[in-house]
Structure 1
Amino acid sequence: MTGRVDALAAGAPAVRAVVEREPKILEVAQPFRPTARQAAKPAEHGAFGFRKEDADLVEAFDRELRSFLGTPEHLDVVARFGVSAAELPDATTAELCAR
């Protein structure tokens, strides 16, 4: 084995950490957008689960979540985990489920 790789697939925070260790020989593809073939696959996004009978809770939760997402406070929270605004999901639940 030569100890070399041709490519690496990992989450953005992990990729940045590896690149920071070897910036002379590695780089992060910017901006990264999936190919049409990759985009056709199921999206990998976090989600919250609720019981079907909790429709009022879901509505209230969604309302609060929509008001929080994209705010400076939200961006500060995700930045602590190495996630940038450019890496946040850019589709609605309905759009993701329609894929």
Structure 2
Amino acid sequence: MKVTIAYIEEPPFGWTKADRAATGADIDLAEVILRAIGVTRIEYRLTTFSELLPGVEAGRWDMNVPLFVTPERANLVAFSVPVWAIGDGFLVRAGNPKALDSYASLAQRDDARLGIIAGQVQHDSARASGVSEDQIVVFEHQADAIAAVRSGEIDAYASTALGNRIVAQRMGRSMLEAVEHEPGTNGTQRALPFGAFSFNRGNSDLLNAVNAQLRAYLGSPDHRARMSKFGLTRNEIDPVLAG
């Protein structure tokens, strides 16, 4: 049995190593789950974020790495049970020269520019907090958004707080700084949003098998140990176990 899974370049969740092999927290989790349900061949398809949902919906691959679950996305694809819960944050230049710690704080500065990856939920979150379209610069790839922060083209790049921490650590905190959003500052969103694998809505056999294995595996010592290697802790794992 073969399964093709699409991923994007977004450490620590997924990225391509020098030997062209896919790796990352979401890749590792997918491998464990798929092997456990009898998949003998796993292929990885590198794509852009904006192509993840159309690609799996059209059947160009079998499943996507986890992304945030929203009602709009659930109309297009079938989501697995959630696998992590992560809040938003900013990647800014070292010292955070414009003191940006939330979408609302950025919205209050007409001179502030925010970078967002096309199709990601951060776009809606920013708009809901008052950030204007004139302040938003859309990128297809994370690497381009990070380069724009470094060059000063934008003042902040919005992504997951965890992902930004990993990027800042890798690039050196003397260049970039990760800022976790202050609680309660981003509109009405209080609970951390959940991320889940996604599938073609007609592929119920694979979805059901993955879900059954996820329910047995998530929160186990092996799961926690594997995720900790990529920086995911009980803060990201425990919220999805409560249900």
Q: TM-score, normalised by structure 1?
A: 0.53
In the alignment, which residue of structure 2 is the partner of 1:25? none
1:68 has 2:217 as partner: yes
Deviation at 1:13, TM superposition (A): 6.3
The one-letter amino acid paired with 1:11 is A
The one-character-per-residue Cα deviations of 1:34-71 (angstroms, maximum 9, x if unpaired) are: 4382327x82x432221222112211110001111000
Choose from 42, 46, 50 the match for 2:195: 46
**TM-align CA RMSD:** 4.1
The one-letter amino acid paired with 2:161 is G
Q: Whose RCO is larger (CA < 8 A, sep 6+)?
A: 1
Choose from 11, 19, 26 the match for 2:161: 11
Q: Which has the higher strand share?
A: 2
In the alignment, which residue of structure 2 is the partner of 1:81? 230
Deviation at 1:89, TM superposition (A): 6.0
Q: Tell me whether 64-73 or 83-92 shows the greater mean CA deviation.
A: 83-92
Choose from 188, 199, 202 the match for 1:37: 188
Q: Verify the 8 A CA contact 1:75 1:84 in the aligned structure 2.
A: yes
In the alignment, which residue of structure 2 is the partner of 1:24? none
Q: Distance in 2 between matches of 1:3 and 1:89?
A: 30
Alignment: residue pair count: 83
The alignment partner of 2:197 has SS state of coil
Q: Which has the higher helix share?
A: 1
The one-letter amino acid paired with 1:12 is L
The alignment partner of 1:48 has SS state of strand
Q: Distance in 2 between matches of 1:90 and 1:3?
A: 30
Q: In the superposition, relative to structure 1, how do residues 71 and 13 fare at CA in structure 2: closer, same or farther (>3 Å)?
A: same
Q: Distance in 1 between matches of 2:99 and 2:196?
A: 33
Q: Distance in 2 between matches of 1:57 and 1:46?
A: 18
1:57 has 2:206 as partner: yes
Q: Distance in 2 between matches of 1:48 and 1:15?
A: 23
Q: Verify the 8 A CA contact 2:219 2:238 in the aligned structure 1.
A: no
Q: Distance in 2 between matches of 1:70 and 1:55?
A: 24
Q: TM-score, normalised by structure 2?
A: 0.26
Q: Distance in 2 between matches of 1:3 and 1:61?
A: 41
